[in-house]
Amino acid sequence: MSKLSGVFTKGAESYGRFVEVFIDGHWWVVGDALENIGKSTKRLLNIAYPFLNGDFRSLGLRGSSPKVSGYARPGKDIEKRFKD
């Protein structure tokens, strides 16, 4: 206890480092979370509304009726399927 000259400054310095790492780490985690949320939202919106980004290729696939596309019909009888 003979050298108390730097106790306050060293304590403040270590507290400042702790706060800096704490805040910096939280900004890093929050930034990563927001980036992932943004990418996921953008991906979901692109799937739900492809025409917003100029992707008109998949418009023909949405909402096609069974009359136009038809149902899958079996090519073999049920007995022949299990014999092959």
pLDDT for 82 beyond 70: yes
What tokens appear for 33 in the block? 């979370």
* DSSP 3-state of 49: coil
8-22, 38-52, 69-83: range with lowest mean pLDDT: 69-83
Q: Are 50 and 42 in contact (CB under 8 A)?
A: no
- Would you list the domain boundaries of the chain? 8-60
What number is the average pLDDT over the span 25-36?
91
pLDDT for the residue 73: 65
Q: Tokens 């917003």, residue?
A: 52
Hey, CA dihedral for 9, 12, 18, 21, is it positive or negative? negative
pLDDT for the residue 62: 53
Q: Are 49 and 41 in contact (CB under 8 A)?
A: no
Residue 65 DSSP code? -
Summarised one tens digit per residue, pLDDT across range 33-67 is: 999 999 999 888 888 887 777 666 555 555 555 55
What tokens appear for 39 in the block? 């990418």
pLDDT for the residue 42: 87
Higher pLDDT: 6 or 59? It is 6
Kindly report the pTM of this predicted structure.
Answer: 0.43
